[in-house]
């Protein structure tokens, strides 16, 4: 399902006496956070906060947020989750966020009546992502490669696959 507001990370602490915060990013890289001028404290876009500056610092991001000018103000934000507006991300056509994949039904490319289960997690392995498909029999892992993942329609909540031989045991 396409979500308009997605979690980008959690404020885990303060940085400096000037009100900067440390964000633990939940995205591919800390660099990704730099492109956003506005973040949100909610998943509906009702609590925006302007980003004055963002800079990667190792595996975290140092953020300077609007109206946060002291360490005391920054400390009050600790534990808050920040969100992005999906349209601000400017993703390439055919790209999606992991959060949008979670919950999609996974069906067979050659027989739409076969539902393998629900996509419940994604593991990033380096070479390719591995999708976790869960059904009443358990959890199955499939490589997210073009030979297996035939189509992805997050708007409809459906992923179509042609699984490698032996991954799913199903009765005919």
Q: 93 pLDDT band (50/70/90 cuts)? A: confident
Domains of the chain by residue range = 5-89, 98-161
Average predicted confidence (pLDDT) for the chain: 92
Extended strands (E) in the chain: 5-15, 20-25, 38-40, 48-57, 60-65, 81-85, 105-108, 115-124, 129-135, 138-143, 149-153, 158-161
DSSP state of 73: H
For residue 28, the model assigns a pLDDT of 77
For residue 21, the model assigns a pLDDT of 97
Does the pLDDT at position 171 exceed 80? no
Confidence (pTM)? 0.76
CATH class of 5-89: mainly beta
% of the chain exceeding 70 in pLDDT: 98
21 near 14, Cβ under 8 Å? yes
Average pLDDT over residues 19-33: 91
pLDDT per position as a tens digit, 135-161: 999 999 999 999 999 999 998 999 999
Residue 154: strand, helix, or coil = coil
Partners of 24 in the β-ladder: 10
For residue 170, the model assigns a pLDDT of 54
DSSP state of 92: P
Report H helices in the chain. Answer: 30-33, 71-75, 86-89, 98-101
111 near 100, Cβ under 8 Å? no
Instruction: Give the sign of the dihedral formed by CA 162, CA 92, CA 89, CA 10.
Output: positive
**For the structural domain made of 98-161, what CATH number should be given?**
2.30.30.240
């Amino acid at each position: 399902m396409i979500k308009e507001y997605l979690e980008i990370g959690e404020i885990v602490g303060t940085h400096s006496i000037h009100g900067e915060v440390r964000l633990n990013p939940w995205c591919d890289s800390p660099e990704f956070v730099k492109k956003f001028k506005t973040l949100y404290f909610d998943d509906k876009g009702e609590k925006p906060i302007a980003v004055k500056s963002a800079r990667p610092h190792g595996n975290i991001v140092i953020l300077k947020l609007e109206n946060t000018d002291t360490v005391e103000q920054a400390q009050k934000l600790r534990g808050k989750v920040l969100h992005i507006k999906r349209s601000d991300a400017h993703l390439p056509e055919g790209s999606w966020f992991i959060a949008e994949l979670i919950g999609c039904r996974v069906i067979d490319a050659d027989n739409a009546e076969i539902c393998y289960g629900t996509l419940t997690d994604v593991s990033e392995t380096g070479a390719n992502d591995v999708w976790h498909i869960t059904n009443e029999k358990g959890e199955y892992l499939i490589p997210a490669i073009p030979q297996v993942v035939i189509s992805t329609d997050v708007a409809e909540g459906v992923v179509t696959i042609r699984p490698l031989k032996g991954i799913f045991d199903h009765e005919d």
